[in-house]
Amino acid sequence: MGSLEQKIKAFVKEQGIEVVGVAGPDRLEGPPSLDPTYTMQRARSIVSMALPMNVDAIYDFLGKKSPTPHGLDQIKMNQKLFRIATSLAEYINSLGYKAGAVPSNNTYRRSPDAFSTHPSFSHRFGAIASGIGAQGWSGNIMTREYGAAIYLGTVVTDAALESDEPMHPRYFIDTSCKGCKLCERTCVAGMFESEREEYVLINKELHPRGKRVSIDLCNVSCFGLHSLSRDRKWTTWGHRWIEDWVDHPPDALSKLRIRYILMREGITAGDSTPRYDIIRKIGSLLWPEELIENYINKHPEHKREAERTRMLFDFAEQLGVGGLRDERILTCGQCALICGPTIDETARRYNTLVESGLVVPGPENEMVNVPTYEKAVELRKKYLPKITGAERFKDAVASTVLWHKFYFGIEPKSIVGGIIYDRKLKKAVKEKIKGHKDYT
């Protein structure tokens, strides 16, 4: 009949997922977001899974051909993985254990800082613990099979599973990343430092990644609030620029200043709240499969942007989201998208991005691709959408309500767990530094 672990893996592979691993009670020591009991009481083990992103859609996205295929892939695959995780949990329940699926994304622990976004359970940390991946320089999880362009899913269970062998913490950092670090160059907001490391402490081991200037810089670029590359030669799919950063990248800004700019610029788009809300609902809720398939199947390549946008608006309304302005819900994510299973593939994706030009608003509210910064400035002056003060105020209020409704609060267990974890991390880093000095 096979062991419980074998049965679980066989079930997952029958669903079309080849990358799967398990971590038992001995492999789940780390940050609070690696604690499975937050998701399900008495949970002791996890099952971690990964599916690849659509590579053709990645090239369309990076090459400024169209953001639509990648956007559809995000909707389809996040829902698919969540659905498979739910089916796996039901299967484990049928074997006499308790299990639950962790939503694909956007389920965060409540915090006095509503923008802190600490996951209820981190798929990334679970992937490390279960041995299916390790951190790359960007902090994204890389797998041997697909690189970092993946979707992650997790099931928690009260079964005491036997853990799979983890990857070495520096498996990618000292091999692929050492001679690459192209992910650092794809962040228009400059979130990563190019040389310094920082660490996550998991199971008493330090897992390195590139030092982050501020996680809020990621939010700035992901929300399309700053989309211009630091050399002014290409953009993301966002159409807004923070003018102060065009000539002076935000490297030396304090974290408080960056947070202020994030909140200030967030209301300039006029639809930050509905854009985030549709991402939240796709990531955290499981929708009828027919609803998702019907929307995805309506997107032949020949449809114009205006028509695709209207279709998105109709779909969003079915999810209970109104107020969107265009179809570009996803504008960034390059640090994961360019990271392929080989250095050569990563280089090809990176070159596609940096040679893609700049996309800016054009006639009829459609984005157009231009080859130079000067032309982009000209078109933005003419066609950049104007947002009224009333629209900005409405969006700011809506964002405040949404973030406080779902993410603001005080959770003593998470706070205390975070303090204890931070002390352990600082001690481990201090010992690492001391050991290095003693060795040299």
Q: What is the DSSP string of 36-105?
A: GGGTSTT--EEEEEEEE--HHHHHHHHTTS-SHHHHHHHHHHHHHHHHHHHHHHHHHHHTT--EEEEPSS
197 found inside a domain: yes
Please report whether residue 440 resides in a domain: no
Q: Mean pLDDT over residues 255-262, rounded?
A: 84
Residue 191: is its pLDDT beyond 50?
yes
Is residue 440 scored above 50 in pLDDT?
A: no
Q: Is residue 437 part of a domain?
A: no
Instruction: Provide the residue range defining the domain that includes 34.
Output: 4-409
If you average pLDDT over residues 176-184, what whole number do you get? Answer: 94
Is 298 a domain residue?
yes
pLDDT at residue 436 in the model? 65
Does 77 fall in a domain? yes
In this prediction, residue 250 carries a pLDDT of: 82
381 has pLDDT over 80: yes
Per-residue confidence band for 403, with pLDDT thresholds at 50, 70 and 90? confident
Q: Which phi-psi region, left, alpha or beta, contains residue 42 (left: φ > 0; alpha: ψ -120 to 50)? A: left
Tokens of 412: 């003593």
Return the pLDDT at 220: 87
Residue 140 has pLDDT above 70, yes or no: yes
Residue 435 has pLDDT above 80, yes or no: no
297 pLDDT higher than 60: yes
* pLDDT bracket for residue 437 (50, 70, 90): low
How many domains would you assign to the chain? 1
At 117, the pLDDT band (50, 70, 90 cuts) reads confident
| pLDDT of 78 strictly over 90 | yes
- 342 pLDDT exceeds 90? yes
pTM of the shown model = 0.94
**Structural domain includes residue 102:** yes
Residue 417, domain member (yes or no): no
pLDDT for residue 274: 92
Q: Is residue 414 part of a domain?
A: no
